[in-house]
Amino acid sequence: MRPDTIIDYLHQFPEAVISYLEYLIFQKKLEKEKYHTHLAVLYLDSVLQLMKEPNAKKEQIDIARSKLRHMLQMSSLYRVQLILGKAKETNMHAECAILYGKLEEHDKALRILVHKLKDYGAAENYCMVNSNGKDSVVRKRLFHALLNVYLDPSYEQKDQLIKPAVELLNNNVADFDTVKVLQSLPDSWSVHIISQFLSRAVRKSMNLSRNTRIERMMSRGENLRVKQTSIELQREFVTMNDDRMCAVCNRAFSDPTFVRYPNGVVTHVHCAKNRHVCPVTGKLFSTKQS
């Protein structure tokens, strides 16, 4: 029986529909937008219904919201705008932050986490989760966005965000562009409160400079080695005469071009199947090229 037929049959029993959709998505791993959207809507409706019930226990609501947040976070197949339209009419701020993240509206998501929920740990974790598997440019962009939320001068309670801003800068996990940070900091801040950040930035810069210098020296040494090898090979010469035979086919050379291996073996060009392996001795020569 087709899943749609079963869902239509169960539509009068919301709990049964939820269980069946969970089976399709989490066990059968079906990746269809309509199933993912349907389950997300049912989860959301379940939470909203519990919030309206005067006798609903906080634990029940927390469990229902946890299931909804897990669904919103793990799936990328549901209709985000549809769910967001329903969620932002409520005080479900954590869920809205996840949805804005799905839309890559990171500034809105971070403002919710910082200004509405005052959950600075969640804001930092948001930057980590949404930059996971992406390059350092994305990671820096997210942490700079969070820092800008902390330093927003228009926020009425901006003084309360100085401490989390400093902790973010001094955190070893966060990733920043040092110059941009220094340009964005308020003039009233002292160097002392961001000393850890500055020390780490200096060490990082020194390590990068040292590694670059080492790589440059190694590259220069390799170039010198290749040039020396080339000079040594060019010093050697080969005498070709009518008696000289190809080491592979044992025939005379009728063409002025030929191949000479580093061990002195000379062959026709068409007899040299592999320029790095002597066709007579089987010796392997270096495959490095300048």
Residue 290 pLDDT level (bands cut at 50, 70, 90): very low
Residue 70's φ and ψ, nearest 5 degrees, are -60, -45
3-state SS track over 157-200: CHHHHHHHHHHHHCCCCCCCCHHHHHHHCCCCCCCHHHHHHHHH
List pLDDT tens digits, range 225-246.
777 766 666 666 677 788 889 9
R_g (Cα) of the chain, nearest Å: 34
Who has greater pLDDT, 211 or 81?
A: 81
Distance CA 86, CA 80 (A): 10
List pLDDT tens digits, range 15-65.
999 999 999 999 999 999 999 999 999 999 999 999 999 999 999 999 999
* Closest residue by Cα to residue 39 from 90, 85, 74: 74
> What pLDDT shows up at residue 205?
58
Distance CA 9, CA 17 (A): 9
Q: DSSP class of residue 229? A: H
CATH of domain 237-290: 3.30.40
Q: CA torsion sign, 20 to 21 to 22 to 26?
A: positive
Query: Above 70 in pLDDT, residue 223?
Result: yes
Rounded mean pLDDT of 79-95?
A: 95
The answer to whether 78 touches 36, Cβ cutoff 8 Å, is yes
Query: Above 90 in pLDDT, residue 262?
Result: no
Q: CA torsion sign, 171 to 173 to 175 to 178?
A: positive
> What pLDDT shows up at residue 243?
83
Cβ density class 193-210: b for 16+ within 10 Å, e for less: ebeebbebbeeeeeeeee
Rounded mean pLDDT of 254-261?
A: 87
Query: Above 80 in pLDDT, residue 201?
Result: no
Q: Identify the bridge partners of residue 245 per DSSP, sorted by sequence position.
A: 252
List pLDDT tens digits, range 107-152.
999 999 999 999 999 999 999 999 998 999 999 999 999 999 999 9
